[in-house]
């Protein structure tokens, strides 16, 4: 029954099919072993507050966005058994314009591409993401919508608010990414290790708050985490 409903959703909204076992193994190797080692040992990323007992169902991960390493580093803290069910949400207009980019995003990052602008002839991107949550998938969202200015956080778009208010009870896990923009800034192709911090905050669970309030509260949560990190090491 439940399975059939998920299947229908997948076909109606044209959701990506669940990953094959080959792709699952590849994702676990890629993120839990390879990238985890590169990020931890070579780049020197410090993981803080990573929750080992994350909920077993769909989750919305949100983070500030400055670098292509952001989605990769967030995939390394997703629980192993949820990895193939977790989709980074990426911009169609940026990643969809070359075959190689699109292929690697969809196959290596397990991402879904959505258009940043709503268009008449396409499914509303929010409907699409909504369907993914209904089908039991987790999402990695960057609510700023763009990588923006290095080292600073822009205002959040309302997408995260829409999704969380339509799915009360689905936890929103805020992750503050500090310093990854130094390792791979916008417009550069080469990673130069400079360290950084990945801080996972307490899950936020929303009830019947309205869209703007949820958006504001998620943004506030990340800003507080950023401030705490800055204050921790002052003379």
Residue among 3, 52, 117, 234 that touches other proteins (CB under 8 A): 234
Measured from the CB atom, the residue of 17 and 232 that comes closer to other proteins is: 232
Query: If 0-12 CB within 10 Å is exposed, 13-18 middle and 19+ buried, where does residue 16 land?
Result: middle
Q: Is 194 in the site for other proteins (CB under 8 A)?
A: yes
Residue ranges in 21-50 that form contacts with other proteins under rule CB under 8 A? 44, 46
CA 60 to centroid of chain Cα atoms? 7
Helix axes 125-134, 2-12, angle to 10 degrees: 160
Segment interacting with other proteins, rule: CB under 8 A, options 65-73, 93-101, 133-141, 179-187: 179-187
Residue 189 binding other proteins, by CB under 8 A: no
**Sign of the dihedral through C-alpha 210, 216, 217, 222:** positive
- Residue 68 as a binder of other proteins (CB under 8 A): the answer is no
Q: Examine residue 96 and tell whether it contacts other proteins (CB under 8 A).
A: no
One of 185, 215, 217, 221 touching other proteins (CB under 8 A): 185
Query: In whole angstroms, how close is the CB of 72 to other proteins at the nearest point?
Result: 18
Which lies closer to other proteins via its Cβ, residue 125 or residue 185? 185
Scanning 113-183, the segments in alpha helix (DSSP H) are 125-134, 159-166, 180-183
Q: How far apart are CA 227 and CA 108, in angstroms?
A: 33
Which residues does 51 contact at the CB level (< 8 Å), separation at least 6? 173, 200, 203
Three-state DSSP class for 198? strand
Structure tokens at 98: 């070359």
Options 99-107, 129-137, 158-166, 188-196: segment touching other proteins (CB under 8 A):
188-196
Q: Where do contacts with other proteins occur on this chain (CB under 8 A)? A: 44, 46, 179, 182, 185, 188, 190, 192-195, 233-235
């Amino acid at each position: 029954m439940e399975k059939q409903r998920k299947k229908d959703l997948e076909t109606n909204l044209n959701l990506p099919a669940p990953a094959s076992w080959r792709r699952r193994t590849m994702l676990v190797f890629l993120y839990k072993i390879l990238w985890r080692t590169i990020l931890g040992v070579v780049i020197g990323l410090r993981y803080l507050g990573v929750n080992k007992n994350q909920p077993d169902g769909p989750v919305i991960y949100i983070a500030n966005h400055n670098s292509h390493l952001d989605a990769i580093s967030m995939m390394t803290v997703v629980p192993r058994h949820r990895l193939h069910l977790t989709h980074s949400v990426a911009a169609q207009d940026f990643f969809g314009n070359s075959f190689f980019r699109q292929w690697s995003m969809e196959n290596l990052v397990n991402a879904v591409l959505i258009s940043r602008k709503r268009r008449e002839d396409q499914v509303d991107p929010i409907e699409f993401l909504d369907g993914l949550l209904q089908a039991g998938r987790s999402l990695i969202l960057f609510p700023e919508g763009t990588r923006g200015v290095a080292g600073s956080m822009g205002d959040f778009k309302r997408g995260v608010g829409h999704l969380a208010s339509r799915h009360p009870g689905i936890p929103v896990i805020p992750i503050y990414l500090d310093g990854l923009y130094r390792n791979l800034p916008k417009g550069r192709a080469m990673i130069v290790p400079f360290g950084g911090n990945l801080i996972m905050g307490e899950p936020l669970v929303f009830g019947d708050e309205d869209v703007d309030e949820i958006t504001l509260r998620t943004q506030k949560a990340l800003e507080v985490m950023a401030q705490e990190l800055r204050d921790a090491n002052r003379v």
